[in-house]
Amino acid sequence: MEKKIFFIIALLISFILVSGCDSQYRTIPEDLKNVTFNQQLSVIYEDQDKYIVEIKFENKTNYDFSPTVVSVRPQIRYVKDGVDYGEPNPINLLGEQVDYGPRKYKYKIEIPKKIFDVYDHMSKDRVTVTVEGMFTKGNKIIFGVSYGEDLELIK
């Protein structure tokens, strides 16, 4: 009797889970595989205390894109035994959206210079720019993405 009840409950849970799934997009569409944004980062202002950087990127896909987070993370890099290493860094600086065009995005981020002294081996000229968001078609979410790219602070 217990096995029968367990089987019925398992069957009901499976049915609920399967019926809640939208089977139209079970896999990532081909044009979203390996999607990149080709972020461009440039320093638009610098003084003794901070950089203000501008990040531009485009959505070149056939889907709408809604950015949720654009951030900059300073890099921890060092060379050991002739090999260039990078380590995770918990410091994320969030961007503020300053311009939005058809499929083009522009963000501004203030980077305090003292942040580069927080950890040993912080790179003073390279950061990781991360764009996170969702590709949609109509009112359906097709794919969530988090794409990071290592970029140089170009002055």
Per-chain mean pLDDT for the chain: 84
Predicted confidence (pLDDT) per residue in 99-120, tens digit: 888 899 999 999 999 988 888 8
The per-residue pLDDT for 31 is: 80
The per-residue pLDDT for 42 is: 93
The per-residue pLDDT for 7 is: 61
Lowest mean pLDDT among 14-28, 46-60, 86-100: 14-28
The per-residue pLDDT for 23 is: 45
Q: Kindly report the backbone phi and psi dihedral angles of residue 118, in degrees, each rounded to the nearest multiple of 5, phi listed first.
A: -65, -45
CA-based nearest residue to 42, from 55, 60, 51, 31: 55
Q: Kindly report the backbone phi and psi dihedral angles of residue 3, in degrees, each rounded to the nearest multiple of 5, phi listed first.
A: -65, -40
How many whole angstroms separate alpha carbon 102 and alpha carbon 29? 22
How many whole angstroms separate alpha carbon 75 and alpha carbon 149? 11
Predicted confidence (pLDDT) per residue in 9-46, tens digit: 766 676 565 555 554 556 788 888 888 888 999 999 99
CB 127 within 8 A of CB 41: yes
Which pTM does this prediction carry? 0.75
Q: Where are the beta strands (DSSP E) in 30-63?
A: 40-46, 50-58
CB 155 within 8 A of CB 43: yes
Predicted confidence (pLDDT) per residue in 126-148, tens digit: 899 999 999 998 888 888 888 88
State both tokens at 88.
């995770």
Per-domain boundaries in the chain? 29-152
51 vs 155, higher pLDDT: 51
State both tokens at 58.
């485009």
Q: Where is mean pLDDT largest: 1-10, 52-61, 83-92? A: 52-61
Cα-Cα-Cα-Cα dihedral sign, residues 118, 92, 78, 53: negative
The per-residue pLDDT for 94 is: 93
Q: SS3 for 67?
A: strand
DSSP strand pairing (104-112 vs 50-58): antiparallel
Q: Let me know if domain 29-152 sits in CATH 2.60.40.
A: yes
How many whole angstroms separate alpha carbon 128 and alpha carbon 89? 10
